[in-house]
Amino acid sequence: MLHPSYTDLINVVNSEVEPGEQPVVQSRYSIVIATAKRARQLIAGEEAMVPENGKKSLSVAIEELYKSKVKIVGDEEPAEQQ
């Protein structure tokens, strides 16, 4: 089993949402797509925001989301990273 869990990731990503607003991530599918996209960016040569230490790109992408190093934005918003 991977750590952090889907639930942990969803809670971290949605932690910045104001009460009454729509959550950024509402399903496991959204988390999977977001981490896969970030992993592809890392494979394409984008610099990782957390120490890699020989980790695979998907593990790095999950860790970046969990530590809030990258932000998930909706399709209508411009792509932005912290």
First-residue to last-residue Cα distance in the chain: 28
* Residue 25 in domain: yes
Percent of the chain surpassing pLDDT 70:
87
Range of the domain at 17: 6-66
Residue 18 in any domain: the answer is yes
Give the per-residue pLDDT at 38: 92
Distance CA 20, CA 40 (A): 33
| 25 has a pLDDT exceeding 50 | yes
Q: In the chain, how many domains are there?
A: 1
Distance between CA atoms of 22 and 69, rounded to whole angstroms? 21
The alpha carbon torsion through 35, 61, 55, 43 (nearest 10 deg) reads 80
Q: Is the residue at 77 inside a domain?
A: no
The pLDDT confidence band at residue 40, using thresholds 50, 70 and 90, is: very high
**39 backbone dihedrals φ, ψ, rounded to 5°:** -60, -40
Model confidence at 69: pLDDT above 60: yes
- Whether 78 shows a pLDDT value over 60: the answer reads no
Total number of residues shown for the chain: 82
Between 40 and 80, residue with greater pLDDT: 40
Residue 80 in any domain: the answer is: no
